[in-house]
Amino acid sequence: MLGRRNMEREFEKMFKENYSRLCQYAYTYLNDKDASEDVVSEAFEYAWKKYKGLEKDELFAVLVLRVKHGSINCLRHRKTVEKYAAILVKSDWEREDLTGEDEDRLRRVEKVISTLSAQTRRVLEECCFNRKTYLETADLLGISRNTVKKHMMKALELLREEFFGKND
């Protein structure tokens, strides 16, 4: 057990020394404090799972790469959400200008949104259409940021399934 405690102490020291710096690094990509903290937390979670198999000098490099790739994935995700949100918020008169393919996509998005629970739909509306952060949405709805994140993950997973099929 002593070995595990030493590992935990070493990892905690690495966390304390690098968390803020990695959050700043993620922020340079994302320009969003909450999203940056989420990306860094996920990087540390990954590093902890792989900690036994990593050399101490590799750990920081792994964290930096995970933060970089997590930030890029977050940006891609944000871009996709914004693209479909933009389609949904078009007014009826703008819909006349949609191509048949765009109209089909819009119908599919609306179909998925109609299947969401009221709470998940509200979270999606606040985050995507009203461009609120997870924290702002959580405060508005009186729920935790993690609950907002779970609702968003659920909605986006259903959209992914609709457009790209099941992820096996």
Query: pTM to 2 decimals?
Result: 0.57
Residues 20-75: tens digit of each pLDDT? 999 999 999 998 888 899 999 999 999 998 888 888 778 899 999 999 999 998 88
pLDDT at 100 over 80: no
Residues 89-101, mean pLDDT to the nearest whole number? 56
**Distance from C-alpha of 21 to C-alpha of 62, rounded to nearest angstrom:** 14
- The identity of residue 23, as a single letter, is C
H, E, C per residue of 51-119:
HHHCCHHHHHHHHHHHHHHHHHHHHHHHHHHHHHHHHHHCCHHHHCCCCHHHHHHHHHHHHHHHHCCHH
Which domains are seen in the chain, by residue range?
2-77 (no CATH), 91-164 (1.10.10.10)
pLDDT at 91: 46
**Distance from C-alpha of 155 to C-alpha of 37, rounded to nearest angstrom:** 22
Rounded to a whole number of angstroms, the distance between the first and last alpha carbons of the chain is 37
Least confident of 70-74, 148-152, 164-168: 164-168
Residues 105-146: tens digit of each pLDDT? 778 888 888 898 999 989 988 888 888 888 889 999 999 888
Residues 6+ apart with CB under 8 A from 11: 47, 48, 51
**Distance from C-alpha of 106 to C-alpha of 87, rounded to nearest angstrom:** 7
pLDDT at 168 over 50: no
pLDDT at 93 over 50: no
**Distance from C-alpha of 38 to C-alpha of 32, rounded to nearest angstrom:** 10
**Distance from C-alpha of 66 to C-alpha of 39, rounded to nearest angstrom:** 8
